[in-house]
């Protein structure tokens, strides 16, 4: 997947969050969207995801294999996102949630759901309702839901939120093992979260 932003801008009421943004994201490369708190990192990520529409310019998507454009109403099939503001279904157990998610977005073919649970270190919580998870356990699940979805694009917004040192190490292990040859975009102002990214987009350049 190639994602291109052309003269893209987003505002809320009269306040522009960013403007005149020209950038291309390509498969097999990891990008960091950086900037201070309130600079518009999450807003840009949601525009890339198609969850928010730009007020000016455009965002286009192209399938790397077919070289054909991807229509906006089907972009969601090609990407997965993990973000602090996205909620989990608290009434479900971990195992139920992953089975439910799999009905809408297939998981990577090389791992079963028990494998995914084991890789993320949540075996003891497989049959526990998510409402009883700690904040760190919930973040591990959000990362698993995103990284193990069989999509070419991964959007990670502050991916280490609520993670301890062990969880942060797990995050980097998952990126190394399962994100090669995929388009990864990390929104963060913490270098520990995007140290593996080879390219960087600084939000302050587009004010």
For residue 147, the model assigns a pLDDT of 98
Residue 63 sits at φ, ψ, to 5 deg, of: -70, 125
Angle subtended at Cα 103 by Cα 99 and Cα 109, rounded to the nearest 5 degrees: 75
Edge to edge, the sheet with strand 15-25 lists: 15-25, 2-12, 56-62
Where are the domains positioned within the chain? 2-206
The pLDDT of 115-128, averaged and rounded, is 97
pLDDT digit string (tens) for 163-183?
999 999 999 999 999 999 999
Q: Phi/psi class of residue 158: alpha, beta or left (left: φ > 0; alpha: ψ in -120 to 50)?
A: left
For residue 64, the model assigns a pLDDT of 84
Contact 24, 6 (CB under 8 A): no
Q: What is the mean pLDDT of the chain?
A: 95
User: Dihedral of the CA atoms 173, 179, 184, 188 (nearest 10)?
Assistant: -10
- Name residue 60's beta-bridge partners: 4
Q: 25, 33, 27, 29: which is closest to 4 by C-alpha?
A: 25
Confidence of residue 207 (pLDDT cuts 50, 70, 90): confident
Q: Which fold has domain 2-206?
A: Rossmann fold (3.40.50)
pLDDT digit string (tens) for 77-111?
999 999 999 999 999 999 999 999 999 999 999 89
pLDDT digit string (tens) for 6-23?
999 999 999 999 999 999
For residue 71, the model assigns a pLDDT of 87
pTM: 0.95
For residue 41, the model assigns a pLDDT of 96
For residue 161, the model assigns a pLDDT of 96
């Amino acid at each position: 997947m190639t994602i291109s932003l052309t003269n893209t801008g987003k505002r809320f009421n009269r306040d522009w969050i960013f403007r005149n943004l020209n950038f291309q994201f390509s498969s097999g490369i990891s990008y960091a969207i950086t900037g201070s708190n309130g600079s518009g990192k999450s807003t840009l990520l949601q525009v890339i995801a198609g969850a928010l529409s730009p007020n000016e310019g455009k965002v286009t998507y192209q399938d790397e294999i077919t070289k054909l454009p991807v229509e906006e109403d089907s972009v969601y099939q090609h990407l997965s996102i993990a973000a602090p503001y996205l909620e989990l279904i608290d009434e479900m157990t971990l195992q139920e949630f992953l089975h439910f998610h799999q009905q809408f977005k297939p998981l990577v073919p090389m791992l079963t759901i028990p494998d995914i649970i084991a890789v993320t270190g949540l075996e003891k919580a497989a049959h526990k309702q998510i409402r009883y998870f700690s904040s760190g356990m919930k973040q591990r699940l959000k990362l698993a839901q995103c990284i193990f979805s069989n999509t070419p694009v991964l959007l990670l917004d502050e991916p280490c939120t609520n993670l301890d040192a062990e969880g942060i190490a797990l995050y980097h292990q998952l990126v190394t093992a399962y994100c090669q040859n995929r388009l990864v975009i990390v929104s963060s102002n913490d270098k520990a979260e995007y140290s593996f990214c080879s390219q960087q987009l600084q939000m302050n350049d587009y004010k």
